[in-house]
């Protein structure tokens, strides 16, 4: 694979840029204030094939590949990382069903996910430290009437708006976090409730809530993959998502550094623009460089996903890198803009909160360094 | 017969064209001929330095006027056309008929070394460039680029020429542009509004300020053509009006070059915008960084005090 | 069902062009290409027309070899087929030359029922090409069109004039220039982007059009563009006290005699 984007990938990026300008720019400030779900923008995402971006053509997808996917995610995130989060979480469900679904499941769910008729959600986290071990862990128990699911999935993105969920449940209480399996759960099934929307720090507009299972009954046909696939399904889907989240982080960082650069050119202090100060130049140059290198790293990981090669280590590296440096993009750019950058009528505070959502949230839970070290030490 | 020909259906613009027309007449030693669709206006033009005036009698559609003018100017040295939409269509047709070059919206114009030298803007106003045209040459000229010449006291002969309709283009109906008939270009002071205003009702803040300044209200393309909050005759920019008032107050508009090209020859430009980085501040003499919802009422009050 | 041709120009995005402050020369080294803004409206108008009632849309462009970059872009926005003429001489071409080249290509590829162009290009904004093209092809031309419909070989269009709008009826073939307000060009979907690769495009050498040297010689020779010099005082009041800012501004305006 080439690290340069192909002409198609560039044009897809251009479409995403035009899309963001037309449909996201006008709503992004309000979304950040109200946290309202951008229903119209999501409809437009569907109309422009973004929701089925990497799904195969036979299920109505655009079959545009993962490199295009991360290019789109980065581009949308420059304007609205929250909208990109909705897309990424949807893509996690689509990815899992496409990768582990049997033909009947793919036929049943992928066309609607690809067309955007149904929005997807991927539910893995719980209130306990790892899935399957907390007091309200989601347990799936084999009963005569089928699989009975009881417990709570926490911080589920797209909760309440998704019509199809890929839900990770513990099927072996003795094995705890090692005894996981995934189920496809339609919204509206008996016993499933959506908790109160969580008021999050950033990425406002991407809904987050608990999914509460009170004896939801599912059948074997709802099981995604084999029981023994659960662990790798979770690991791989989260790794795919971490590449997409890295693209979000880079998009947010790029938006911040471009904003700060433009600011530095117009902000005059001591008789000259602050852009002339070396300290400012260093802050801007370092941020731009880190963004660029992270972009190359995540593009390589996306290329591996696209060609069906192992990518967990590369995904973990991107995640580990941005866990360390991602939030610095905003720390540095706020410093460039000083008091103005700190004001809520400038975009940096929103970007700051958003980048917290894309860099800090999951890295501690997943410990990417462990994945990388394990590969090195094997 | 060689000549410098000028045409505009807009009376004010027709008079303005005679100023560069007279300069070209002196430089090229060719008679100056004014073409007009209006018999009333013909008399005025005849007293402003034209050597001859031809009244174009018949339909005023671009496709009817264009071949009629092309026939009259077949031997022309230079044809100057008022840069209205009708004029631009006509000028392009005439240039095609003469196999001639055409400068669109010439800002300056002079004859030199047997060629016509003009300047015009490019890239939506970001840049200017010179164009050098072999004769015969055509140029369109925007409103208010030149002042009208002083009356000569003489009166040139007035003739008539027939214009026949183009049977291929049938006019089904004509709708006058709904407007208040305000001539924004003539207003000495303007308050211009842009997307910084969140709702149509908020424009009252600008109306109040305009009242205090004895100014007219103007706007960006978006306010007129996308939001329809103000009539299109009030919008300033490359495809709208070009103005040169003594004072231009730009409130809540970012100052995109496509807008600024319509107002950047104003004497004094004042910008009010909450984004310190907005390009309008580079194009302004005075600026206030702040929320227009706070600043405009204060400014209105201060001016009334 | 109309057979439509849309002409477009591939221009540098003016937002990427910087003016060098020392000598006012233009720096376009980081400027990307784009389909000229109003030509997108023309492409959209053609696409909407054939989506509503069938027919075909072809695209035609004259430019430098940079046009190659526009092939998939334009085909993702609706047209079924593209003919393009890439030649270095396009750099200095005026509307006289552009119209000669396009007319020659249309004589070769046509006939078309409707030929659509944007009102003017975002870079040069000549606003001449459609009218010149019509004159060369001996076709009627309706300029500055806001709205149009097509039925049974007849175009009904609303055009803008300085003081009014006119609804006109023209039997095709005809040339039409389209205003930006006519429509909102679509953003291509991913399937349209990927589908563009499957559509045919053909590069025609300029020499194949049978034009005489005089036809390719610009009548208006363009000099080197210079950035427009903004010479303003740039005094900005930005204290946190809005009333103080206003007081300073009022004092400044008084000093200006306003």
Model confidence at B46: pLDDT above 90: yes
Q: How far apart are CA B91 and CA B93, in angstroms?
A: 5
Mean pLDDT of B179-198: 85
Confirm whether B125 is domain-assigned. Answer: yes
Using a pLDDT cut of 70, give the percent of chain C over it.
Answer: 100
Query: Which one of B127, B162, B197 terminates a domain?
Result: B162
Q: Which residue pairs, CB below 8 angstroms and at least 24 apart, start in A25-33?
A: A25/A79, A27/A80, A28/A79, A28/A80, A28/A350, A29/A350, A31/A80, A31/A82, A31/A83, A31/A204, A31/A205, A32/A82, A32/A204, A32/A205, A32/A350, A33/A204
Assigned fold of A231-377: Butyryl-CoA Dehydrogenase, subunit A; domain 3 (1.20.140)
Confirm whether C230 is domain-assigned. Answer: no
Query: Which CATH number goes with the domain that contains C32?
Result: 3.40.50.620
- If asked whether residues B99 and B223 sit together in one domain, one would say no
What pLDDT, on the 0 to 100 scale, is given for residue A61?
95
Select from C18, C34, C125 the residue whose CB has the most chain B CBs within 10 Å, as the one to mutate to test that interface.
C125
What interface predicted TM-score (ipTM) does this complex get?
Answer: 0.91
Confirm whether B168 is domain-assigned. Answer: no
What pLDDT, on the 0 to 100 scale, is given for residue A233?
94
- If asked whether residues B158 and B221 sit together in one domain, one would say no
Class at the top of the CATH hierarchy for domain A120-227: mainly beta
Q: pLDDT tens digits, residue range C174-201?
A: 999 999 889 999 999 999 999 999 999 9
Query: Where are the alpha helices (H) located in B111-237, listed in sequence order?
Result: 203-213, 221
Q: pLDDT tens digits, residue range C1-30?
A: 899 999 999 999 988 888 888 888 999 999
Model confidence at B265: pLDDT above 60: yes
Q: How far apart are CA B62 and CA B60, in angstroms?
A: 6
* Domain range enclosing B33: 4-162
Residues of chain B with Cβ-Cβ distance to A262 below 8 Å are 277
User: What kind and span of H or E run contains C148?
Assistant: strand C141-151
Q: What are B120's strand-pairing partners?
A: B129
Q: How far apart are CA A316 and CA A322, in angstroms?
A: 10
Give residue limits of the domains in chain A.
7-115, 120-227, 231-377
Residues of chain B with Cβ-Cβ distance to C222 below 8 Å are 129-131
For residue C123, give how far its alpha carbon lies from the nearest alpha carbon of chain A (Å): 20
Query: Which one of B162, B192, B221 terminates a domain?
Result: B162
Q: How many domains does chain B have?
A: 2
Inter-CA distances, B96 with B91, C12, C172, Å? 8, 27, 21
Residues of chain A with Cβ-Cβ distance to C195 below 8 Å are none
SS3 label, residue A323: helix
For residue C45, give how far its alpha carbon lies from the nearest alpha carbon of chain A (Å): 19
Decide if A262 and B276 are in contact by the 8 Å CB cutoff: no
Are the C-beta atoms of residues A208 and A199 closer than 8 Å to each other? Answer: no
What pLDDT, on the 0 to 100 scale, is given for residue A324?
85
For residue C82, give how far its alpha carbon lies from the nearest alpha carbon of chain A (Å): 17
- If asked whether residues B213 and B119 sit together in one domain, one would say no
Nearest to A154, CA basis, from A210, A201, A199? A210
* Domain range enclosing C34: 3-216
List the CATH code of the domain at A7-115. 1.10.540.10
The span from the first CA to the last CA of chain C, in angstroms, equals 61
Q: How many domains does chain C have?
A: 1
pLDDT 10s per residue in chain A (378 long)? 678 999 999 999 999 999 999 999 999 999 999 999 999 999 999 999 999 999 999 999 999 999 999 999 999 999 999 999 999 999 999 999 999 999 999 999 999 999 999 999 999 999 887 888 888 999 999 999 999 999 999 999 999 999 999 999 999 888 877 889 999 999 999 999 999 998 889 999 999 999 999 999 999 999 999 988 898 999 999 999 999 999 999 999 999 999 999 888 878 777 788 888 898 899 999 999 999 999 999 999 999 999 999 999 999 999 999 988 888 888 888 888 887 777 777 788 899 999 988 987 765 556 788 888 888 888
Mean pLDDT of C155-179: 94
Q: pLDDT tens digits, residue range C46-73?
A: 999 999 999 999 999 999 999 999 999 9
Decide if C252 and B286 are in contact by the 8 Å CB cutoff: yes
User: Could you tell me which chains touch chain A, where touching means 3 or more CB pairs under 8 A?
Assistant: B, C
Q: How far apart are CA B32 and CA B12, in angstroms?
A: 18
pTM: 0.85
Confirm whether B85 is domain-assigned. Answer: yes
What lies within 8 Å, CB to CB, of B41 at 6+ separation is B11, B14
Q: What is the band of C230 on the pLDDT scale with cuts at 50, 70, 90?
A: confident
Confirm whether C169 is domain-assigned. Answer: yes
CB nearest to A266's CB, from B274, B276, B291? B276
Model confidence at B177: pLDDT above 80: no
Residue C163 is encoded by which pair of tokens?
């003081």
Q: How far apart are CA C164 and CA C144, in angstroms?
A: 12
Decide if C162 and B85 are in contact by the 8 Å CB cutoff: yes
């Amino acid at each position: 694979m080439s690290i340069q984007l192909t002409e198609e990938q560039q044009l897809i990026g251009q479409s995403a840029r035009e899309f963001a300008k037309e449909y996201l720019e006008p709503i992004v400030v309000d979304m950040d204030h109200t946290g309202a779900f951008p229903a119209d923008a999501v409809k437009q995402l569907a109309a422009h094939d973004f929701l089925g971006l990497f799904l195969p053509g036979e299920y109505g997808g655009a079959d545009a590949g993962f490199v295009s996917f991360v290019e789109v995610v980065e581009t949308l995130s420059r304007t609205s990382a929250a909208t990109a989060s909705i897309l990424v979480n949807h893509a996690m469900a689509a990815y899992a069903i496409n990768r582990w679904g049997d033909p009947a499941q793919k036929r049943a769910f992928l066309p609607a996910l690809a067309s955007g008729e149904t929005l997807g959600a991927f539910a893995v986290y719980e209130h306990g430290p790892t899935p399957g071990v907390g007091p309200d862990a989601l347990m799936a128990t084999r009963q005569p009437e089928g699989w009975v699911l009881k417990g709570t999935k926490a911080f589920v993105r797209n909760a309440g708006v998704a019509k199809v969920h890929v839900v990770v449940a513990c099927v072996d209480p003795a094995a705890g976090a090692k005894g996981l399996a995934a189920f496809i759960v339609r919204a509206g099934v008996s016993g499933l409730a959506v908790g109160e929307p969580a008021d999050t720090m950033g990425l406002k507009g991407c809904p987050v809530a608990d999914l509460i299972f009170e004896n939801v009954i599912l059948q074997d046909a709802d099981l995604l993959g084999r029981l023994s696939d659960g662990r790798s399904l979770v690991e791989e889907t989260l790794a795919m998502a971490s590449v997409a989240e890295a693209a979000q982080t880079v998009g947010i960082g790029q938006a911040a550094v471009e904003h700060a650069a433009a600011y530095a050119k117009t902000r005059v202090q001591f008789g000259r623009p602050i852009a002339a100060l070396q300290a400012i130049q260093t802050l801007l140059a370092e941020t731009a460089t880190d963004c660029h290198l992270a972009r190359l790293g995540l593009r390589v990981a996306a290329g591996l996903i696209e060609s069906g090669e192992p990518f967990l280590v590369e995904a973990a590296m991107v995640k580990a890198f941005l866990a360390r440096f991602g939030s610095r993009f905003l720390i540095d750019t706020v410093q460039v803009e000083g008091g103005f950058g700190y004001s809520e009528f400038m975009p940096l505070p929103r970007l700051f909160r958003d980048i917290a959502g894309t860099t800090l949230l999951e890295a501690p839970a997943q410990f990417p360094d462990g994945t990388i070290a394990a590969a090195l030490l094997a | 017969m060689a000549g410098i020909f000028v045409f505009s259906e807009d009376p004010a613009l027709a008079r303005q064209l005679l100023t560069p027309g007279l300069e070209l007449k002196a430089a090229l030693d060719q008679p100056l001929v004014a073409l007009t669709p209006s018999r009333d206006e013909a008399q005025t033009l005849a007293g402003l330095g034209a050597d001859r005036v031809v009244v174009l009698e018949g339909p005023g559609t671009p496709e009817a006027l264009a071949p009629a003018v092309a026939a009259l100017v077949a031997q022309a040295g230079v044809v100057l056309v008022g840069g209205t939409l009708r004029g631009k269509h006509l000028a392009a047709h005439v240039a095609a008929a003469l196999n001639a070059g055409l400068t669109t919206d010439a800002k300056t114009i002079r004859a030199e070394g047997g060629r016509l030298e003009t300047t015009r803007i490019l890239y939506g106003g970001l840049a200017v460039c010179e164009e050098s045209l072999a004769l015969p040459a055509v140029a369109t000229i925007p409103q208010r680029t030149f002042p009208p010449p002083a009356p000569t006291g003489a009166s040139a002969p007035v003739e008539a020429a027939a214009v026949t309709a183009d049977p291929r283009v049938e006019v089904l109906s004509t709708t006058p542009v709904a407007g208040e008939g305000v001539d924004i270009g003539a207003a000495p002071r303007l308050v211009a509004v842009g997307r910084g205003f969140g709702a149509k009702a908020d424009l009252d803040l600008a109306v109040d300020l305009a009242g205090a300044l004895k100014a007219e209200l103007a706007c960006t393309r978006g306010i007129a053509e996308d939001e329809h909050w103000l009539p299109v005759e009030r919008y300033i920019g490359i495809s709208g009006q070009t103005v040169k008032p003594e004072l231009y107050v730009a409130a809540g508009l970012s100052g995109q070059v496509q807008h600024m090209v319509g107002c950047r020859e104003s004497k004094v430009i004042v910008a009010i915008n909450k984004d310190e980085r907005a390009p309008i501040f580079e194009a302004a003499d005075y600026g206030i960084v702040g929320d227009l919802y706070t600043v405009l009422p204060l400014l209105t009050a201060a001016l009334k005090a | 069902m109309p057979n439509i041709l849309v002409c477009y120009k591939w221009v540098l995005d003016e937002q990427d062009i910087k003016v060098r402050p020392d000598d006012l020369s233009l720096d376009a080294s980081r400027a990307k290409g784009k389909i000229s803004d109003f030509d997108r409206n023309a492409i959209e108008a053609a696409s909407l027309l054939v989506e509503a009632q069938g027919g075909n849309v072809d695209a035609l462009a004259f430019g430098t070899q940079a046009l190659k970059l526009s092939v998939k872009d334009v085909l993702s926005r609706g047209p079924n087929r593209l003919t393009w003429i890439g030649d270095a001489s396009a750099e200095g071409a005026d509307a006289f030359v552009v119209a000669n080249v396009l007319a020659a290509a249309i004589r070769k590829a046509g006939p078309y029922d409707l030929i659509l162009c944007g009102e003017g290009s975002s870079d040069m904004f000549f606003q001449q090409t459609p009218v010149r093209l019509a004159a060369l092809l001996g076709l009627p031309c309706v300029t500055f069109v806001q709205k149009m419909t097509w039925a049974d070989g007849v175009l009904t269009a609303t055009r803008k004039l300085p003081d009014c709008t006119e609804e006109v009826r023209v039997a095709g073939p005809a040339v039409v220039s389209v205003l930006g307000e006519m429509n909102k060009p679509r953003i291509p979907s991913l399937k349209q982007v990927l589908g563009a690769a499957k559509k045919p495009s053909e590069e025609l050498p300029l020499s194949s059009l049978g034009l005489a040297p005089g036809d390719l010689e610009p009548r208006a020779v363009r000099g080197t563009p210079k950035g427009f010099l903004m010479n303003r005082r740039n005094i900005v009041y930005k204290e946190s006290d809005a009333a103080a800012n206003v007081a300073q501004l009022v004092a400044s305006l008084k000093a200006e005699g306003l």
